[in-house]
A and B are shown apart, each in its own frame.
Chain A
Amino acid sequence: MTKLSNSDGFTNTLWKFFTSVKLSVFILLSLAMTSIIGTLIPQNENPMLYLKKYGEFRFSLFKSLDLFDMYHSWWFRFLLCMLTVNIIVCSINRLTATWKIIFPKTPKFNINRFRKMKNRQEWTSTSTPETLKTAYETYLKKRFKTFLVEPAENGYRLFAEKGRWTRLGVYVVHLSIIFLIIGGLVGSIFGFDGYVNIPEHESISSIFLQNSKLKKELGFEIRCNDFNISFYDSDMRNRNRMPKEYRSDLSIIKNNKEVIKKEIIVNDPLRYAGINIFQSSYGQTKASGLKYEKQAKMGQSIDMPGNTGTLKIEDFKSHFPYRGITLDNVYICVFTPKEGEPEHILIPENSRFDAMRNGDFIISIENLGNHLKITFTETGLKYYTGLQVTKDPGVPIVYTGFIFLIIGCYITFFMFHKKICVELTTAGGKTNVMVSGISEKNRPGMLSVTRRVANQLKHLK
C-alpha cells in the first residue's frame, strides 16, 4: 500500500510538473534560443570544413554537443518531446477541469456579475416590462443560441449566449502541434530523402541517401529520356543569362514496362508509389573515356594532362547557391588555361556522377581524407539531370496539422464566448433597462457587442 501511494505521489508530482505553464514558456523559449545556433553554424557540412573553420578544440566541443546537426540532436529532440508531453498534459488537465464549466447541463447565469460589468448600458423606456420582454425575446432568440428568461422582483431577467464551443479552439491549436510533431516523426522513421543523377537516355534503379550517402534500391527504374535547359536570354554569348526552366523527360519503368512518362520542372515533380521525384540540379557527364588521375591538397595548383593549363582547388562548399538552384558539395576551383585568363569553375563532389566540363576534360574530385583525388576524363559529353527523390508518409499528418493550426488560431483569436443579460425593472410606471455582457477573454470585443445589442434593443418598443 505504501509503495503504491508512493508511486502515486510520484506520478502526481510528474503530472503537476507537466501542467505548469512556466514549463511551456521555458520550453518554447529554449527551442527559440537553441534554434538560433543552427542558423549561425552551417549544418551538415563536411567535417574537414568545420575543422578548418573552428579549430581542433571548438570542433570537438561542438561535435560532442551535436551542433553540426543540432536539429536532429538528442537534446533538441528531447525538447520537442518535452513540448509534446507538456501540451498533452496541459490540454487534458485543463479540458477535464473546464469541460463541465464549458458544457454544463443547464447554463447558469450570475446576475450579480452582469450588474458589475463596466460595459453595461442603461436607459429608461416608457413601455411595460412585459411588452419589452416579448420584443427582446424575439430579438435575442434570433441572434443567440441559448436563451433563458426568469422573473425578477419587479420585472424580468433575460439571458442569452452563444459561442461556448469556441473555447475549444485552443485545444484544436494544441492538437495541430501534436499532429505536426507526429507527422515529422513518421516522416523521419518511414521516409527517406535521396538524390540521383541520370545521364540522358540512361536509367537507374537505386539512389543515394542525402544524410548517410548509402545506396537505396527503389524497386523500379527511372529513365531520363531527355534533359533541357532554357534561358531568358537566347544570346549564347551571354554567360550571365538567367535560366528560365530546367526540364527533364522521365519514365518510370517497372518489370521492363513503362508505367509513367512525365516531363518534370522545378515546381512540378513526378509522384509514383508514394515516392516523389524532383528536378534539383543538372550537369554534363561522359559515359566512357580515358581517365587521368592526380593527387592534390586544398589550395595546391596541379598541371592538367596534355599541358593544357593548371588547376587550383580553392575551397569546398557543401551548399552553394548557383543560378537559383543549390549545388551540394562543390569544389570551387580556378582553372588557368595555357593561354588566357584564369577563371572560376565549380566542380561537384562525387566522381561517380558529377563533373564539370572544361575544355577537353571532365574534371571530378574525390576527397580521400588526407588528400584529394582529381580525375580528368576525356570528353564525349552529355547532360545529366540531377533528381531529388523523397518519400514522406508523414506529409498527410503534417498537412492535417496545418489545417487544424489555421482553423484553431482563427477560432481562438477571433471568436469568443458571448454572454448577454438584459434586466427589466419597473420603476414609477417606467421600465429601467440594463444590458450587460460577459466574455471570459475578449473584454473590448464584448464591449462593442454589448453596445450594438443595446442600440438595437433601444429601437424595439
Chain B
Amino acid sequence: MTSSKIFSIITFLYGLALVLYIISWVFKKSFPGKLAVAATIAGATGNLAGVILRWIESYQMGIGHAPLSNLYESLIFFAMTIAIVHLFIAFKYKQRIIGVVSSPIPFLAMAYASLPKVNDSIQPLIPALQSNWLIAHVMACFIGYSAFAIAFGISIIFLLKSPDDEQQTGIMARIPDFDTLDDLTHQMVMFGFLFLSIGIITGAVWANQAWGRYWGWDPKETWSLITWLIYATMLHARLMRGWQGKRIAVLSCIGFFAVIFTYFGVNLLPGLHSYQ
C-alpha cells in the first residue's frame, strides 16, 4: 500500500465522521456520535501511518526528509493535527458535538490536498530547508493553527446560537451552553498561543542558524506576528478587561482569518515561505 492510497482512504473516513457527527446532532442520537469518534480515530491513525509511510518512501527515493516540505504535505499534516486536537476535546471535555464544526476541517484539508493543482509528488529538499529545525518549526506551527481552527469553529457556533435557544428543544438547544463554549474557545486559544509562540521561536532560531538573522520581516514572519498580536490582544481583553462571550468569539474569528492568511494568503506575496 502506498501513502497516497492511505490518504484517499482517510479523506473518506474524515468525510464519514463529519456526516455521522451531523446525524448525531440533528437526530439527537449518541450512537452515530460514537461512530464518528471511532471514524476520526481511524482517520487520525491512518493519517499518521500515511505520513510515516511517505517519510519512508522519500528515503527509498534517496531524497529522504520529513514530509513537511510543501503545500500538499502541510495540508496532510494539518488534517492530522486537527483530528488529534479534536479527539482531545472529545475525550477531555466530553464535548462530542464540537465535532460538527471541527471535523469538516480535516476533511476539507484532505480534499483540497487531493486537487490536481496541488503537487503531490515527493520532491527533494532545497538546501535552505535541510535542517532539523524544519520538523520542530512546522509541527509547532501546525499544532497552533489546529487549536486556533477549532477555537474558530466553536466561536462560530457561539455566534450562531441565540440566547433563546437555551430554552428551546430544537437542534440549536443541543449544543453546549454559552459558558462551556466560551471556556473551550479560551482553552483552545491559550493552547494555540503557546504553540504559535514555540513555532515562531523555533523558526527564528532556525533563521538565525541558516541566514544569520532571527527576524527579517519576511511576509510570513510578519503575518505570524500579526496573528500572535491579535491573540495576545484577545487574551488581555479577556483576562484583564473581563471580555467574554460574543466579543471574544468575534476576536477568535478575526484571529483565525489571520491564521488562514499566514498559511495560504502569504503565497500571494513574495518571500522565503511561499510554497512552490
A324 touches B126 (CB 8 A): yes
Q: For residue A276, which residue of chain B has the nearest CB?
A: B212
In the bound complex, residues from chain B placing their C-beta under 8 Å from that of A443 are: 183
A-B contact pairs, 30 of them (CB 8 A): A21-B240, A28-B233, A28-B236, A29-B229, A29-B233, A32-B225, A32-B230, A38-B217, A39-B266, A43-B217, A193-B213, A232-B124, A243-B126, A267-B128, A278-B210, A280-B211, A321-B270, A321-B271, A321-B274, A324-B129, A325-B127, A388-B211, A392-B212, A398-B214, A402-B204, A405-B201, A406-B197, A406-B201, A409-B193, A444-B183
In the bound complex, residues from chain A placing their C-beta under 8 Å from that of B106 are: none
In the bound complex, residues from chain A placing their C-beta under 8 Å from that of B130 are: 245, 265-267
B198 touches A325 (CB 8 A): no
Check A309 for interface membership: any CB of B closer than 8 A. Answer: no
B193 touches A413 (CB 8 A): yes
In the bound complex, residues from chain B placing their C-beta under 8 Å from that of A24 are: 236, 240
Interface residues of A (CB under 8 A from B): 21-22, 24-25, 28-29, 31-32, 35-36, 38-40, 42-43, 71, 184, 193, 232, 242-246, 265-267, 269, 276, 278-280, 319, 321, 323-326, 388-390, 392, 395, 398-399, 402, 405-406, 409-410, 413-414, 441, 443-444
6 nearest interchain CB pairs? A324-B126, A390-B212, A32-B229, A413-B190, A266-B127, A39-B219
A405 CA / B194 CA spacing, docked (Å) = 9
Per DSSP, are chain B's interface residues mostly helix, strand or loop, or mixed?
helix
Q: B58-72 interface mask toward A, CB cutoff 8 Å, 1 = contact, 0 = none?
A: 000001000000000
B residues 230-272 near A (Cβ < 8 Å) are 230, 232-233, 236-237, 239-241, 258, 266, 269-272
Q: For residue A26, which residue of chain B has the nearest CB?
A: B233
A242 touches B124 (CB 8 A): yes
Report the minimal beta-carbon distance from A270 to chain B, rounded to whole angstroms. Answer: 11
A276 CA / B233 CA spacing, docked (Å) = 36
Check B226 for interface membership: any CB of A closer than 8 A. Answer: yes
Contact of A267 among B131, B240, B266, B271 (CB under 8 A): B131
A429 CA / B194 CA spacing, docked (Å) = 52
Q: A43-B217, A267-B209 are in contact. Are A242 and B269 (CB under 8 A)?
A: no
Check B152 for interface membership: any CB of A closer than 8 A. Answer: no
A-B contact count (CB 8 A): 127
Report the minimal beta-carbon distance from B258 to chain A, rounded to whole angstroms. Answer: 8
Check B123 for interface membership: any CB of A closer than 8 A. Answer: yes
A326 CA / B207 CA spacing, docked (Å) = 14
In the bound complex, residues from chain A placing their C-beta under 8 Å from that of B270 are: 42, 319, 321
Interface residues of B (CB under 8 A from A): 63, 123-124, 126-131, 183, 187, 190-191, 193-194, 197-198, 201, 204-205, 208-215, 217, 219, 222-223, 225-226, 229-230, 232-233, 236-237, 239-241, 258, 266, 269-272, 274
In the bound complex, residues from chain B placing their C-beta under 8 Å from that of A29 are: 229-230, 233
In the bound complex, residues from chain A placing their C-beta under 8 Å from that of B214 are: 392, 395, 398
Contact of A25 among B198, B205, B241 (CB under 8 A): B241
A39 touches B222 (CB 8 A): yes
In the bound complex, residues from chain B placing their C-beta under 8 Å from that of A406 are: 194, 197-198, 201
In the bound complex, residues from chain B placing their C-beta under 8 Å from that of A444 are: 183, 187
A410 CA / B130 CA spacing, docked (Å) = 30
In the bound complex, residues from chain A placing their C-beta under 8 Å from that of B239 are: 441
Q: A388-B211, A395-B208, A399-B205 are in contact. Are A39 and B269 (CB under 8 A)?
A: yes
In the bound complex, residues from chain B placing their C-beta under 8 Å from that of A280 are: 211
In the bound complex, residues from chain B placing their C-beta under 8 Å from that of A269 are: 209-210, 212
A413 touches B191 (CB 8 A): yes
B212 touches A193 (CB 8 A): yes
B213 touches A392 (CB 8 A): yes
In the bound complex, residues from chain B placing their C-beta under 8 Å from that of A390 are: 212-213
Q: A39-B219, A409-B194 are in contact. Are A265 and B212 (CB under 8 A)?
A: no
Given A42-B270, A246-B127, A395-B214, list of 11 further CB < 8 A pairs?
A: A25-B241, A32-B225, A32-B226, A32-B229, A39-B223, A71-B217, A242-B126, A265-B130, A321-B271, A409-B193, A414-B190
A127 CA / B47 CA spacing, docked (Å) = 54
In the bound complex, residues from chain B placing their C-beta under 8 Å from that of A392 are: 208, 212-214
In the bound complex, residues from chain B placing their C-beta under 8 Å from that of A38 are: 217, 222
B229 touches A31 (CB 8 A): yes
Taking each of B126, B258, B266, which has the highest tally of chain A beta carbons within 10 Å of its own beta carbon? B126
Q: For residue B63, which residue of chain A has the nearest CB?
A: A232
Report the minimal beta-carbon distance from B189 to chain A, rounded to whole angstroms. Answer: 9
Contact of B197 among A35, A39, A405 (CB under 8 A): A405
A266 CA / B266 CA spacing, docked (Å) = 24
A450 CA / B223 CA spacing, docked (Å) = 41
